[in-house]
Chain A
Amino acid sequence: MSGEIDRVEKGVAHEDAGAPLTEAPASPPALDFGGAWDYAPAPEATDHVHIAPRQQLFVGGRWVAARSGRHFDTVSPGTEEKLAEVAEADARDVDDAVQAARLAYDRYWSKMRASDRAKCLFRIARAIQEKARELAIVESMDGGKPIKESRDVDVPLAAAHFFYHAGWADKLDHAFQGRAWRPLGVAGQIIPWNFPLLMAAWKIAPALACGNTVVLKPAETTPLTALLLARIVEEAELPPGVVNVVTGPGATGAALAAHGGVDKVAFTGSTAVGKTLQRALAGTGKKLTLELGGKGAHVVFADAPIDQAIEGIVQGIYLNQGQVCCAGSRLLVEESVHDLVVRKLEDRIATLRVGDPLDKNTDVGAIHSRTQLDKIRRLVAAGEEEGAQRHTAPCALPTRGYFFAPTFFTGVASSSRIAREEIFGPVLAVTTFRTPEEAIEKANNTMYGLSAGVWTDKGAKILWMAQHLKAGVVWANTYGKLDPSSPFGGIKESGFGREGGRQGLLEYTEVE
């Protein structure tokens, strides 16, 4: 009986914690600096970066115009200014690229010593490091992500991926427990706009390490860093045709995937396109890797280190404006700490600096495109219509460019669109749970299964949760960490295959 009284008393205490700030000594008020801590603009200098006004395709080691002679614009989402015109490859250009890749495979890449292939990859890794700042600036200009992220996350990780896989090239006999393996041939790789250079590295590095040659199709809206990478490949003096880059819209990617000379297709992008691709490849015998959408659940238990969890939550959903397939876009909070977490989250997002992607102080940059911004707005409106309570950071947004203030919803029903659909924006859906079992049920109640997060101080609970969460990656007391040595990829409709680690090599080899 005394236990029950205890519970009641705790319940009262908890209600106090959820009351307005001034009346809750257990929950200190947020620090308020007034206007004293405004940041002066700190733009990254771009004068040393030259973007050629007209970009060509990289095919067979040469820079060529599209056969159609057509071009399309690539625009900076931070300023809405045109950055360059990019060649629009059609099926003929794709055919040229695939043939060049095949020739390079037959004539050079499959005949070279593995240790020499490794050294080619090491050269690329080094060159990425040498050109790191240029790559970061162009990445932020073309894609809208904060320079802080492109400089400290995307570019270093891209270099790390080449370093990591370079080392595998001459050690593959150890990778498959003594089983015989062979490369697949020509890989057609189609990548998205949210991590343009990093995804190019994730695709190209393991493919080349395993002895394949590649044709890469960057996203229509973010082709510039992939073309800079092609320049690095050229300067690293890889044999012509080992890496080819064809730019263009979805149709270019479709032509690449459908090409009869392609042995392997690797795609990162939306689940809808992934399904279409899988269907189109049925019966062709081509090996396929799909890295698709997600609706990552972030589970916060009452015994978690709450302040650290808040940082993890913010990293998980506002990194790259939430345009991340493994974003922690659903927050499940144990009921007893819900009000505290919401309060702290509200305080935290009020400090995020939204604006110029090239400003070194910017935390949240530009949404990738007008289309994406419209989609985010539509889903946020749907969230409000469905009765969820909206919390948006009180920040001023730039008048030009595509921006959306960090936002989260509380009181979200599991059935609502913002809880089920991948928003791909800085929008978080918060719900509560009472038991670990309920947390698991809610977390797994999605067609996706890419990533999940757990915050608790109890080791056994972490491992129990990790066992039961249906996701390809589980971050415990951290979130969103990536590394070339750690396999990444999803289950269910988040796709199949892994990228990174020994396991990722399986996607680019045929193993007995």
Chain B
Amino acid sequence: MSTGPAAPARTPAPGALEAFDPAARVPVNKAYKMYVGGAFVRSESGRYFQSRAQQAKVEGGADPEVVNLPRGSRKDVRDAVLAARNVGEGWAARTAYNRGQILYRLAEVMESRRAELCASLERAGREAEQALREVERAVDRTVYYAGFCDKYQALLASFNPVAGPYFAFSMPGPMGVVAILAPERPALLGLVSTVLPVVVAGNTSVVVAGSEDARTAMVWCECLATSDLPGGVVNVLTGRAGELALHLAAHREVAAVDAWSDDPALRAEVEREGSGSVKRVRTHGPDETRQMGSDAGQGLAFIERFLETKSLWHPVGR
């Protein structure tokens, strides 16, 4: 039995009954699933939810389409973390050039699916023009990060002039599994802006999609699945942020959490939960989320946040 919110009755809005055309083709609706380990999966809990924007539409009577999305559970979190951890070493070991190629491929796939991404944003209430701008920006940001894969090392590594006969240098490396609580809005650009810098840095990720328009997140996952990104590098769960974020923040295999939420109580709770295993927790409020659409929503700082500096010393001698 579902513990999710009761599904709204499929009662047509006034006037809709008259408009029903018995000769029209009935379209095939898609069942949306979470993206874990490169596969599309239901929640093991069997729970579901209907995103808020969708419900608003139903209540307003403008669009009676209902989309059920899996309401991820603690077990789903564990499965996703395992998937992310298992591919972590392989992803980090790929050459920076190869990671850049893969992200560029993702941009190509997103560009070719522009119409679908736009339609999904529009169905969740975005104006057509805004939706197009968001998708274009998301594609461009993907290209931006594709080109960063083999650059940040040169900017952040250092040769350390230590006072002794040693060759000493410091290099940035991935933290491991990074949990991301994606912002509610913008649904697509928010995902792209938070997930890509993390994986550019060689981390793998478990992402909780914003619940307002989680369907768009799943459409984006279809882009990931058809790009060359290895399964498990990005795992996307849907469900209640408050529930999943705390499981992620408490999980010992998760090295870091990037929480974008307008709810200060949730942000504080994530920080508290993360302290049990000395997690690197970054939280961001609405002020930062609002900058997502501008150039301030991308940059070296986004990559640097989830890098770990390792210093190496070796004696110099004959």
Q: Which residues of A contact B (CB under 8 A)?
A: 160, 177, 179, 271, 274-276, 278-279, 281-283, 290, 292, 447, 462, 466, 471-478, 481, 483, 485-489, 491-496, 498, 501-503, 506, 511-512
Contacts and interface: CB of A to CB of B under 8 A. Distances in A.
B144 to A, nearest CB: 16
Contacts of A495: 278
A512 B166 contact: no
Interface of B: 155-156, 158, 160-164, 166, 168, 170, 175, 255, 264-265, 267-269, 271-272, 274-278, 280, 296, 299-301, 304, 308-315
Contact of A282 (B155, B162, B268, B296): B268
Nearest to A494: B278
B161 A485 contact: yes
Given A487-B170, A501-B170, A478 B272 contact: no
B312 A474 contact: yes
A398 B203 CA distance: 52
B168 A486 contact: yes
A30 B301 CA distance: 56
B271 A283 contact: yes
A502 B276 CA distance: 29
B312 A476 contact: yes
A512 B277 CA distance: 28
Nearest to B300: A177
A282 B276 CA distance: 12
Contacts of A447: 277
A487 B309 contact: yes
A483 B272 contact: no
Contacts of B310: 466, 471-474
Contacts of B312: 466, 473-476
Contact of B162 (A271, A278, A483): A483
Given A283-B267, A483-B162, A488 B311 contact: yes
B274 A278 contact: yes
A483 B275 contact: no
Q: Chain B: interface secondary structure?
A: mixed
Contacts of A475: 312-313
B67 to A, nearest CB: 34
Contacts of B162: 481, 483, 485-486
A501 B158 contact: yes
Contacts of A486: 160, 162, 168, 170, 311, 313
Contacts of B267: 283
Given A279-B275, A290-B278, A474-B311, 14 more contacts: A179-B301, A281-B271, A283-B267, A447-B277, A472-B310, A477-B314, A477-B315, A481-B166, A485-B162, A486-B313, A487-B311, A494-B278, A501-B309, A512-B299
Which 5 pairs from chain A and chain B are nearest by CB?
A: A283-B268, A282-B271, A278-B275, A483-B162, A282-B272
B160 A282 contact: no
B272 A501 contact: no
B170 A476 contact: no
A494 B175 CA distance: 13
B164 A483 contact: yes
B295 to A, nearest CB: 11
Contacts of A481: 162, 164, 166, 168, 313
Nearest to B168: A486
Contacts of B276: 275, 279
A112 B243 CA distance: 48
Contact of A496 (B163, B268, B280, B299): B280
Nearest to B163: A483
A489 B301 CA distance: 19
A483 B311 CA distance: 11
Contacts of A274: 278
Contact of B275 (A179, A275, A488, A512): A275
A512 B276 CA distance: 29
